[in-house]
Structure 1
Amino acid sequence: MPATDSSSAAAPLTSFGRSFLSHRRDQIPPPPPDHHSHSHTQHPSSSDLEIDAFHRHAADLLHDLLSDSNSDPSAPDLLSLAWTRRLLDSFLICLEEFRAILFALADSQPLSRPPLDRLLLDFLDRAVKALDLCNALRDGLDLIRQWRKHLAIAAAALATAPAAQRGEAQIRRARKALTDLTILMLDDKDAGGVVGQRNRSFGSASTTRTPFPTATATTAGAAAAGAPGPALAPISGLTVPRANDIAATGGLASAVYAMGAVLFVVTWALVAAIPCQDRGLQAHLTAVPRTFPWAGPLITLFDRILDESKKKDRKHSCGLLKEIHQIERCSRQLMEVTDAAEFPLADDKDSEVQEATQELVQVCGSLKDGLDPLERQVREMFHRVVRTRTEILDYLSRPHNAG
């Protein structure tokens, strides 16, 4: 596959990745002899230290995602829009540093030779499937925008001066909007996500909204051939590299595995948070050797999200995004409070409506401010994965790398 124009545009980011890794290399002491990694000599080389820096920085980024408001007042809540944006930031940083290491060390460890070629081809296959996921996520965010329109109607109907009571007409308008919202959410849940919208993203039917471009014919072919749904495909079958493969590749095999593990967690968390076709959280996290620096925080993050999905009030949700939970809770509370209400509302009833309305307004604001930036990050994820995949395939196809 020929290189894309985006490769040259990536030069500053690649330089940043190399500079960062060099700085980390100077700061990191050699790992202990029993460290389960690429460092297989008593005196680690420069490449050993750079790969170790990558592992440790991935651990730092994953650990930051575990912070809560108790330990860090500025930390966003798990699975909120703000947290999901931080998750994507962490992924993009890891991917950029992975590219920097891969091509910096390609001369000493040719990418087209076994066992590295096999490991890279497996990673590239997951990357293709992740591109389908990006399109499905884009449609899921569009779906949440539709929900927000109904929320905004209800919030506008119930908004009034603090001293004024809400009348029957206001309550009726709000209940109509919330009823339409509930029906829409149930329909989408029963349909298994945004099936129709996702199909338009890959081709036949035209839409007013431009989908992310399809990266390769392979992507479209996989979708047309009935490949596994995008929600589950990128996160199955992650294999731990053997010790001799890590040694034979100068440690690059461990870097490829680390990037695959980060891709696993990011795609799984995104599927958990956002309404998505073929949504499911039944993926199994293959045992990760805890001797990798990032293994602990990665497993903890996976377990926390899984625990969140098992909560009684989240089991049947369209998505684990915090704002979706707020939508469901506010809507249910307002419908219950105003059911068979007598007008004018009693003071206690009106106070309950006022409280629920304030949360409704807050959720609308969060969605208005957070959905567009999150979609831009999903789009950036798409383009970065395309670029990384294209560059690796381009390198593997060069004649001087044969054999």
Structure 2
Amino acid sequence: MPSSDSPGLSMPFATFRRSVFGLGSDRIHSLESNRSPVGQNTEFELFQNKVFKRFHDLSIAKADEFLSLTWVSKLLDALIDCQEEFGVLLCKHKVEISKPPIDKMVLDYFERSIKALDICNATRDGIDMIRLWNKHLDMVLSAFGSQQRIIGEGTFRRARKALTELALVMLDDKGSGSVVSHRNKSFGWHNKGKEQHYRLPGHSRSLSWSVSHSWSATKQLQSIASTVVPPRAHEITETNGLAVPVFTMSFVLMFVLWALVAAIPCQDRSLQIHFSIPRQFSWSTPFYLIHVRIMDESKKRDRRSSIGLLQEIYQLESSVRRITDIVDSVHFPMTEEQKEESKLAVKESTLVCETCRNEMDPLERQLMEVFRKIMSSRIEGLAILGRGN
């Protein structure tokens, strides 16, 4: 997590947001004095501005959108956009980046990007898990049938059976210490080893092959974050300013991965990753804001034990709790008030299911695009560096 001297980490988000945006350009540390004339290249500045604008929009998202599937999709869009712009910069400066010391910096970036692929795979497993929860909740709702069906004892028996199955699935996913995949797939890496299978009452699933059992999202993120260090003044000068966009892209990649793991269940996930958000860059403010908002969300009483801060996970869990309470407390014959409460709970839960069903597949495809972009940009970058083999 960012260092403790970062402004606003101990104050409410609203207060922090006002204080940050009130800093003014004169209060933001600038690299201008450290740059050579070439380092002030307009295209480098445009890249910094793009990063600021994309993440500024994410940082000011309304409360009902922040950490939703829609917001995560925009987060991945921002990463893809920055990756494409960064690739253009590298192509324009082929000669420069093939020379030391910038060649080592670029190579280090591509090594970090390789580690991002495992996180993409683990996140895909998390998407599968949410999809599985949603499928079981849909079965619960199906027990109630259409709004026109008469709700009776048979309805609640079917719903209770489906809820028991869903509870087993949710407890399994929360207690196993790792996220499991129903389809056993990955975007790119293939594990040829055989995995152990296990069975729970009422359903059978196998452990994911996307990442190994010993793999940890926390350790993977920390290994990336520990190598993302702002360039020193002499490094900026020696690289004619190219060190700045290389560091910027490294930080963007690392931060997006951290936010992704915060939102979506991953094997051995934690938000307590040690990294610093450098104040001397013009794009730092949105990242501070996003970080503070995510940490504030994680501290809420009803989110502390959650396996992911995604809004739709919270809504799924809330729907399950509400319907479970109704099923457990119902007495027959039902009163009109109980019938209306049941119908309302089913209606609201159905909307949650529809949102997940409609948005999970596009998000998975987008995550696949991120995976492929990382792979292709690394291949192209290594070719430029003359290290394709």
Q: What TM-score results when the alignment is normalised by the length of structure 2?
A: 0.81
The match for 1:362 is 351
CA-atom RMSD in angstroms: 3.0
Aligned with 1:354: secondary structure? helix
Name the counterpart of 2:47: 54
Structure 1 Cα separation of the partners of residues 136 and 183 of structure 2: 22
CA deviation profile, 1:121-158 (whole Å, cap 9, x unmatched): 32122111101111111111111121111111111222
Match of 1:140 among 113, 119, 126: 126
Other-structure match for 2:319: 330
Residue 56 (structure 2) aligned to one of 63, 83, 86: 63
The residue that corresponds to 1:124 in the other structure is 110
- Helix, strand or coil: the match of 1:339? helix
**Which residue of 144, 148, 152 corresponds with 1:167?**
152
Question: What is the Cα deviation at residue 37 of structure 1?
Answer: 5.2
Deviation sequence 1:15-55 (CA, Å, 0-9, x none):
xxxxxxxxxxxxxxxx99972259724xx559711011101
Partner of 1:244: 234
Hey, what does 2:169 align to over in structure 1? 184
Structure 1 contact 165–345 (Cα < 8 Å) conserved: no
* Shift of residue 66, structure 1, vs aligned partner: 1.8
The CA deviation at 1:232 is: 4.0
Percent of paired sites with the same residue: 40
The equivalent residue for 1:4 is none
TM alignment of 1:192-341, pairs within 5 A: 192-194=177-179, 201=186, 202-204=190-192, 229-234=216-221, 235-237=224-226, 238-286=228-276, 288-341=277-330
Aligned amino acid, residue 108 of structure 2 = D
Alignment correspondent of 2:340: 351
Deviation at 1:195, TM superposition (A): 5.0
The yes-or-no answer on 1:36 pairing with 2:31 is: yes
Indicate conservation of the 8 Å contact 2:126/2:264, yes or no: yes
Whether contact under 8 Å (1:66, 1:297) holds in the other structure is yes
In 1: Cα distance, 2:43 partner to 2:145 partner: 57
Kept in 1: contact 2:39–2:240 (CA 8 A): no
**1:279 CA drift (Å):** 1.4
> C-alpha displacement at 1:360, in angstroms?
1.0
The answer as to whether partners of 1:152 and 1:361 remain within 8 angstroms in 2 is yes
Give 1:98's aligned residue.
86
Quote the Cα distance in structure 2 between the aligned partners of 1:268 and 1:388.
Answer: 21
Q: Does 1:113 align with 2:100?
A: yes
The offset of 1:254, in angstroms, is: 0.9
What CA deviation, in whole Å up to 9, does each residue of 1:296-342 have, x standing for no partner? Answer: 10111111111111111011112111111001011111111221421
Quick check: 1:152 aligned with 2:152? no
Write the distance in 2 (CA, Å) between the matches of 1:102 and 1:37: 22
- Distance, in Å, in 1 between the alignment partners of 2:261 and 2:278 is 25
Q: Which runs of 5+ in 1 are unaligned?
A: 1-30, 71-75, 208-212, 215-222
Q: Could you say if the C-alpha distance between residues 247 and 199 of structure 1 is closer, same or farther in structure 2, counting changes exceeding 3 Å?
A: farther
Structure 2: stretches of 5+ with no match in the other structure? 1-25, 196-208
1:15 aligned residue? none
Please tell me whether the aligned partners of residues 37 and 254 of structure 1 are also in contact (alpha carbons under 8 angstroms).
no
> How far, CA to CA, are the matches of 1:180 and 1:284 in structure 2?
39
C-alpha deviations, 1:90-120, integer Å up to 9, x for none? 000000001111221222x233411x13322
Q: Taking structure 1 as the reference length, what is the TM-score of the superposition?
A: 0.78
For residues 195 and 368 of structure 1, do their structure 2 counterparts lie closer, same or farther at Cα, with a shift above 3 Å needed? closer
1:225 & 1:169 partners in 2: Cα distance?
A: 42
CA contact (8 A) 2:128 2:181 kept: no
In structure 2, do the counterparts of structure 1 residues 91 and 277 end up closer, same or farther at CA, with 3 Å as the change threshold? same
1:63-105 CA distances to partner (integer Å, 9 max, x unpaired)? 11123348xxxxx611111111111000000000011112212
CA distance in 2, matches of 1:152, 1:159: 10
Aligned twin of 2:383: 394
Partner deviation per Cα, 1:344-398 (whole Å, 9 max, x = no partner): 3222222222222112101111111101100001000000000111112222226
